[in-house]
Structure 1
Amino acid sequence: MKRVVITGMGALTPIGNNINDYWTNLKAGTSGAAEITRFDTSKFKTHFGCELKNFNIDDHIPRSESRKYDRFTSYALIAAEEAVKNANIDFESLNRNKIGVVWGSGNGGIETFTEEMIDYVKRDENPKFNPFFIPKIIADIASGVISMKYGLRGINFTCISACASGTTAIIDAFNYIRWGKANMVITGGSEAPITAAGLGGFNASRALSTNNEEASTASRPFDKTRDGFVVGEGAGALILEEYEHAKARGANIIAEVAGGGMAADAYHLTGTHPEGEGAFLGMNEALEDAGITAKDIDYINMHATSTPIGDQSELIAVERVFGKRENLKLSATKSMTGHLLGAAGAIESIASIMAIQEGVIPPTINTKEVDSDWGDKFDLTLGTAEKHDVRYAMSNTFGFGGHIATAIFKRFE
């Protein structure tokens, strides 16, 4: 099968609105968590999240256009644009029939849906919906809009696997290219869940941290006092390209996609299997797909959302796959970005790729006392970034419904 390389990336995150700022703040151990500013949270158990900072959609997309989109679609467009520029793509010179978009989102236009329904109920005498209501809320619209912007007529669809959506999209894009169905794919994920419905819903499912007094340090993976995840927003985009196609156009190759694995916990609506069964299967599937063994992995960007059960089950699965490895680095970048749900896999894949490029492991912050004896078994990269040679990096993402997606990236050689 064909080789697949990464030639461009774009990021819009709570700790940086572009690749450089995102990576700089990851290395610095910057927390993106703070009190939510977009709406009144006084009626909710949680008052904080990881919002984008110093960011205005109107600075990137004309208002006449962005009014047609939910925030998650605008985020997708902005991250994709950075990735396209980063990859130095001249679409006019390429066969756009063989260039596609495979995107991921778990919630789609949840902000639009919430606002429109509230507005509809309020309009007693003349109830009506915005004519853009349906295209703004459907989760597949982001991939469609990206393709329209660049005139891309290749494969085009959206993956929905809850918090595994971004990674699922990357794996699907990888497969379509190596099967010869596309020369290039813009892939990744976007999410805009910091809404009244999103906050209230996750509070009701008892998934969110309610540590309002220590908001900036509430996302504390592996810590004994962790009490839930911190919701985040944003997008990550990657340009995946067939190797010979990239070489022919003189592209700068950042890294290579080595393999991907998907599985299911088949266990619970929202909880992970206590023995990490799905995660174990997904990681092994990814290793087999990449044609490598567990000893080849140098770094794992953990799913590690800071939930009591989730972190524990993932570490159990990692121990089952890797055993005790002195040269294996683990870290949880959600400690800084919060949990971007369907976009998490995209921005965490980018973090994994940057770790390969620079030989730096971004840290797990906020973790003061590691639960159980996991700190003795694994190097969790606590507190500060560390230098480490990374040839292969693994990125784990798991979603409500038991969805498992693991991607492996390698140094381009």
Structure 2
Amino acid sequence: MRLPGGERARLTALYGGLLVLAGAMLIGLINFLVAQGLYTTISGAVVARMDSGATPALPLPSSHPSAASASPGSEVFQRAEPSGEVSTFTRAAEQATQNQLLTISLITLAVFAIVSVALAWWMAGRVLRPVGVITRTARKLSGENLHERIALDAPSGELKQLADTFDDMLDRIEHLVGAQKRFAANAAHELRTSLAVQRAAAEIGLATSDPEAVARIRRKLIEVADSSERLIEGLLLLSVSDQGLDHREPVALDELVRTVTAEYAVSQQARDHHIAVRAQTTPVTVQGDPVLLTHLVRNLVGNALRYNHDGGHVTVTAHGRALEVDNSGPHVPPETVPYLFEPFRRLEERRHARGEGAGLGLSIVASIARAHQARADAEANPGGGLTVRVLFPGPEEGA
């Protein structure tokens, strides 16, 4: 049965009730134990007192035979029998003592109940204070003050752990909200830029009758349209991978790597810049979605090919539970490497050149890796370029 009122009232009723119950049981036990030995104690004390002569004997009745032989003016006494007057006296003393003890016990219990309820109310307030702090902090939070934390100053315990967990959750929420804001702003900027270029090209093309100018505008419109299409496909792929996997099946990662690598090795970009694309694999099977894993490998190899230099190389390795893509290319500052997995992050500002990516490659890789419970990281190569590594879980981890 759920008690009405707030949590503090319920805890007060619980704590106070338990304390009063414990006090009542203690008082009842004391009264019971005293009652058990009270008669014997009083009776023994009275008899001992009589045996020592301290208690006067009762006068003999005139009909008693000894009374006739008693001298005038003298008093004749007889010893009281314990089974008669002593028993009556003992019973009366026992009853009076029990009544007085019960009265004192009830008064004590009433005072104890009042003190117990007050103490339980204070104690419940102390226990629930961190919960109140968490509640007030949660009510104040909004998109503008996600930086606030509870920072509960309390000894280690369950409520301290709850407050610390809440702070950790706020850290993650702040990071995610910040990433979402940056993502929305960057996506809007990218799409707006493409639309602006298309609009300008269309206006210029409609304003001229030069066939060569019209042909250039046409090619530019097609390039921008292709770029916008790739951007939208990347956004959709990022959204799908962020939702997780609907099903899993065994995927031969080594075969997938060899297929994608062979495709990029003969691509126009690799031939134009004389970039060697090669694969080094051993049999590797992972549990996952083959379509998403194909996109993961394509993004890794395409990104390594795009950010490279003439005569460079791209090496794709699949061994054990790891997929690794190493490339040559421009120098990458080590402090910028972790940020490359965020959407629309690039080493250089976008120039809107032909074949330039949208800045979603590594963010899609990280999202697909998370969907497969894998971990994606990267490190800058000393001679330039980047090494990106995706470590898949073992069979027992991915189950």
Q: TM-score range by the shorter chain?
A: under 0.3
Given the two structures, how large is their TM-score scaled by the length of structure 2? 0.23
Compare the two structures and name the one with the higher strand fraction: 1
Larger Rg: 2
Which of 1 and 2 has higher RCO (CA within 8 Å, sep 6+)?
1
Q: TM-score, normalised by structure 1?
A: 0.22
